Amino acid sequence: MAEAAQGRVQAAVESAVQGLERERIRAMQGAMFRCSARCCEDGSASMQEVQRCIERCHQPLAQAQAIVTAELEHFQDRLSRCSLQCRDQAKDALDSGGSEPKVRGQLDACLASCGEQHLRLVPLMARKMRDGLAAIQ
């Protein structure tokens, strides 16, 4: 049961990130490469000027990657905390004399609940990423 919830969360996150990549990030990558090419076409620029120009071209994409990474890390941290809480509850139940099969079932149900809770958060996370990417220019 917990594995199924984990699989659904993973699939939803991957789908959201792939959608963002197609909708926003690919266009940013194309713009970055075109901008970088224009930097290199300036025959009067020094090597340092060309390098600074290319770095400026890369900044928006680097910002986009930082936004996506930060949101994914935040989401993963929240999911991990939920999972750790389930494991702590299971350990406490075992320590207070609970039977192993019963505690294992409770742990599985708790982990599945964590997955379902976080599955509902994926659209919010994707919207936050989309809003952050839209603000980059």
Residue 111 neighbours by CB under 8 Å, 6+ apart? 1, 2, 5, 6, 83, 86
What tens digit of pLDDT does each residue of 52-107 get?
999 999 999 999 999 999 999 999 999 999 999 999 999 999 888 888 889 899 99
Gyration radius of the chain's alpha carbons: 22
Q: Give which of 131, 117, 112 is closest to 4, Cα–Cα.
A: 112
pLDDT tier at 6, thresholds 50, 70, 90: confident
Q: Indicate the residue type of 110.
A: C
Distance, in Å, from the CA atom of 35 to the CA atom of 43, rounded to the nearest integer, reads: 15
Output the pLDDT for position 1.
Answer: 58
